Amino acid sequence: MLYLRKTAFFNLTLTAMSLLWTMAVWAETVEYDGLIEPCLIVEIGAPAEGIVTKVAVERSSPVTKGETLVELDSSVEQATLEKAKAMAAFDGEIRLQEAQQAFANRVHQRVKQLAAVSPHDKDLAATEIIQTGHRLKKAREKSTLAKLELKKARAVLALRSIKSPISGVVVERYVSPGEYVDSQPLLRVVKIDPLRVEVIIPARIFGKINPGMTAAITPELPEYGEQTATVTIVDKVIDSASSTFGVRLELPNTGQQMPSGMKCLVRFEIDDDPGGMKKATARITPDQAQN
């Protein structure tokens, strides 16, 4: 009988130790209202003032990065560019100075060999070589400046064509051909691949949602079905007035099929013990084991 009691006590002790190290996770499913928005909104302006000659897009037009959207009158800039091209191509002054320098070198070589030539004349011949070298250097500097002016003219002309800085969709068109523009925006372009989801969450959940977590997104339009988004930003400050904080998620939108601006439901699966899995513990006394 004593042996059976000891065996029962030993078995119960093992059970207690096993329960002591058993891990259990309690998960909480929470769901909040969210809003699907573009990940980037750009108001495209004109880098220079002028008259609009062409608008290549309409509202809802898809655009790619680097695509020309608006063109301004560039007749003056075109003329300046043509002039700069001609100036950069001129090399007559350089050729002239090179010829004069070669001639001065030949004269100097002959003068050095003539004993009847005075030192003064020899000095003049040597000086002519130096002066010709400086004139040749100046001609080459002018050529370099002309090439820089050509580069500048091309850059100024490029400012007359306004290109899209992102790939996305045009949502607003503010100008038409013939209008004079200065500093006002011309177009509004949004990037919708990926989309972003903004959601406001009660303060009691703070610390349980972290960047890298995923959430299920259910758009208000059922044809888009349930989507998966990833948390990218969690606000570090809780709004004291509403006792809430903001969370942003990134939602892939390959092919730009899903529109932005929809309401949605955001569902999180949150561990009850975010810092680690809780341990279930039990205590069995020797008296209980003997019984």
pLDDT in tens, 96-117: 888 888 888 887 777 777 766 7
Encode pLDDT of 131-151 as tens digits: 888 888 888 888 899 999 999
pLDDT for 13 equals 53
Look at residue 283 and tell me if it is in a domain. Answer: no
Q: Which residue has the tokens 């002018």?
A: 142
Residue 285 lies in a domain: no
Between residues 120 and 21, the one the model is more confident about: 120
Mean pLDDT of 190-198: 95
pLDDT value for 7: 52
> Is 248 part of any domain?
yes
Max mean pLDDT range (123-127, 203-207, 247-251): 247-251
Supply the mean pLDDT for the chain: 83
Residue-level pLDDT at 120: 76
Whether pLDDT at 276 is above 50? no
Q: 272: pLDDT confidence band, cut at 50, 70 and 90?
A: low
Residue 87 lies in a domain: yes
Examine the domain organization and report whether 265 and 199 are in the same domain.
yes
Mean pLDDT of 149-168: 94
Residue 285 has pLDDT above 70, yes or no: no
The model's pTM is: 0.68
Quote the pLDDT of residue 60.
92
The reply to whether 101 falls in a domain is yes
166 pLDDT tier (thresholds 50, 70, 90) = very high
Report yes or no on 11 lying in a domain. no
pLDDT of residue 15: 53
Question: 208 with 269, same domain?
Answer: yes
Domain count, the chain: 2
Highest mean pLDDT among 109-113, 123-127, 205-209, 269-273: 205-209
264-275: average pLDDT: 77
Range of the domain at 251: 23-40+191-276
CATH code for the domain of 242: 2.40.30.170
- Residue 113 has a pLDDT of 73
Average pLDDT over residues 233-242: 95
Structure confidence at residue 273 (pLDDT): 54
Compute the average pLDDT of residues 203-214: 93
235-245 CB burial, b ≥16 within 10 A, e <16: eeeeeeeeebb
Is 36 in the same domain as 82? no
pLDDT for the residue 42: 96
Q: Would you say residue 275 has pLDDT above 80?
A: no
Q: Identify the pLDDT of residue 281.
A: 29
Question: In this model, does residue 201 exceed pLDDT 60?
Answer: yes
**Average pLDDT value for residue range 77-102:** 88
Tell me, yes or no, whether 61 lies in a domain. Answer: no
What is the separation of C-alpha 185 from the centre of its chain, rounded to a whole number of angstroms?
A: 20
Residue 185 lies in a domain: no
